[in-house]
């Protein structure tokens, strides 16, 4: 009996948390599909409209921005997977002089806010002749300390027996990495990939600073046109623009929700 009450309470709490989480999203949908006057007035039969989306789409070259953001997150993700996998494998499975110190240095990167490095990163990009390119937005993030750390922990948990068995079967080091370690770390890759994609999808300051033209700028910079501070906030159009730009991420998450949640549980990112 007490067990049932407990489970009811648990369910109620879960629903409540879910509601709190989804409320801003529901509000954004409400504001986006109604005329401006209804932004803070809730009438069930308020007239519906798609004009806010049309106005938002017109305010900046969003088609190009979508393409840029897509190129950016794909490029960063691929580079991070390759670099972090190789680095993590070394840190997880080989002991050499100074490996502890080296790993410590990598971890140190976790404690530095990227914004502090704004000027230094700008200088590097300028020296490389990369100012105003999509590559420049992604380059400082490719060797991700967080990714290396996460994958190293995952690789360390994989029993050595599997590696030895593979070696007996005649696998080289690279084949062991690709056939044993990577497949077993799939949940970690998925979880890390999601955090990385959503971070770069949302990143604003660095892309704004390092790019100058429509051809290289991501969605967030386009979105900032609506934050016109002198004039106050137009919830309807901001909601429409936000929904529009976050739609791909949101859809992706809803479709693969189960896998994501499981990966997060296993990878230990919360």
Partner 1 sequence: MTMTRRATLGALAASPLLASPAVHAQAPTEIVFNYPIAVGGPIPRLIDGYCEEFARENPRFRIKPIYAGSYQDTLTKTLTAMRGGDAPQLACLLAVDIFTLIEEDAILAWEDMAGVEKPWLDGFYPGFMENSRARGKTWGIPFQRSTIVTYWNKEAFREAGLDPETPPQNWAQQVEFAQKLTKRQGDNVTQWGIQIPSSGFPYWLFQGLTTQADVRLMNADGNRTFFNDPKVAEALQYWMDLSQRHRVHPGGIVEWGTTPRDFFERKTAMMWTTTGNLTNVRRNAPFPFGVGMLPAGRRLGSPTGGGNLYVFKSANAAQREGAVRFARFLTTPERAAHWGIETGYVAVTPAAFETPAMRAYVADFPAAAVARDQLPHAVAELSTHENQRVTKALNDNLQAGLLGRKQAGPAMADAQAEAERILRRYR
Residue matched to tokens 């700008």: 122
Q: Does 17 bind partner 1 (CB under 8 A)?
A: no
Residue 205: name the closest of 129, 117, 123 by CA: 117
CB of 225 to partner 1, least distance (A): 6
In the complex with partner 1, which residue's Cβ is closer, 59 or 79? Answer: 59
Cα separation, 5 vs 87, in Å, equals 50
Q: Does 2 bind partner 1 (CB under 8 A)?
A: no
List binders of partner 1 among 193-212 (CB under 8 A): 205, 208-209, 212
Residue matched to tokens 């300028």: 126
In the complex with partner 1, which residue's Cβ is closer, 101 or 116? Answer: 116
Q: Does 156 bind partner 1 (CB under 8 A)?
A: no
Residue window 209-238: x/- pattern of binding to partner 1, with contact defined by CB under 8 A: x--xx-------x--xxxxxxxxxxxx---
Give the interface segment with partner 1, choosing from 9-17, 65-73, 125-133, 146-154 (CB under 8 A).
Answer: 125-133
**Six-digit token pair at 154?**
């995952």
Residue 205: name the closest of 229, 221, 219, 225 by CA: 221
CB of 132 to partner 1, least distance (A): 9
Helix (H, G, I), strand (E, B) or coil at 151: helix
Residue 139: name the closest of 150, 148, 149, 126 by CA: 126
**Which segments of the chain are extended strands (E)?**
none
Chain residues that interact with partner 1, rule: CB under 8 A: 36-37, 39-41, 59-60, 118-119, 122-123, 125-126, 131, 205, 208-209, 212-213, 221, 224-235
């Amino acid at each position: 009996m007490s067990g049932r009450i407990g489970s009811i309470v648990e369910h109620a709490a879960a629903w409540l948390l879910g509601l709190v989480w989804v409320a801003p999203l529901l509000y954004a949908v409400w504001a986006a599909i109604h005329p401006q006057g209804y932004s803070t007035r809730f009438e069930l039969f308020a007239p519906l409209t798609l004009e806010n989306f049309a106005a938002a789409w017109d305010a900046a070259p969003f088609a190009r921005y979508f393409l840029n953001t897509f190129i950016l997150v794909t490029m960063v993700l691929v580079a991070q997977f390759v670099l972090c996998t190789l680095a993590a494998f070394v840190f997880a499975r080989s002991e050499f002089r100074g490996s502890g110190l080296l790993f410590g240095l990598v971890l140190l990167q976790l404690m530095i806010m990227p914004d502090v490095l704004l000027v230094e990163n700008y200088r590097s990009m300028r020296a490389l002749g990369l100012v105003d390119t999509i590559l420049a937005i992604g380059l400082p993030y490719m060797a991700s300390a967080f990714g290396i750390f996460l994958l190293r922990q995952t690789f360390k948990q994989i029993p050595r027996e599997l590696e030895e068995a593979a070696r007996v079967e005649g696998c080289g080091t690279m084949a062991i990495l690709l056939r044993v370690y990577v497949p077993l770390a799939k949940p970690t890759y998925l979880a890390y990939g999601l955090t990385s994609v959503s971070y770069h999808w949302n990143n604003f300051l660095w892309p704004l600073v390092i790019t100058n033209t429509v051809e290289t700028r991501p969605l967030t910079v386009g979105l900032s046109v609506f934050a016109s501070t002198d004039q106050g906030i137009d919830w309807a159009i901001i909601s429409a623009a936000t929904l529009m730009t976050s739609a791909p991420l949101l859809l992706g998450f809803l479709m693969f929700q189960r896998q994501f949640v499981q990966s997060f549980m296993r990878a230990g990112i919360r």
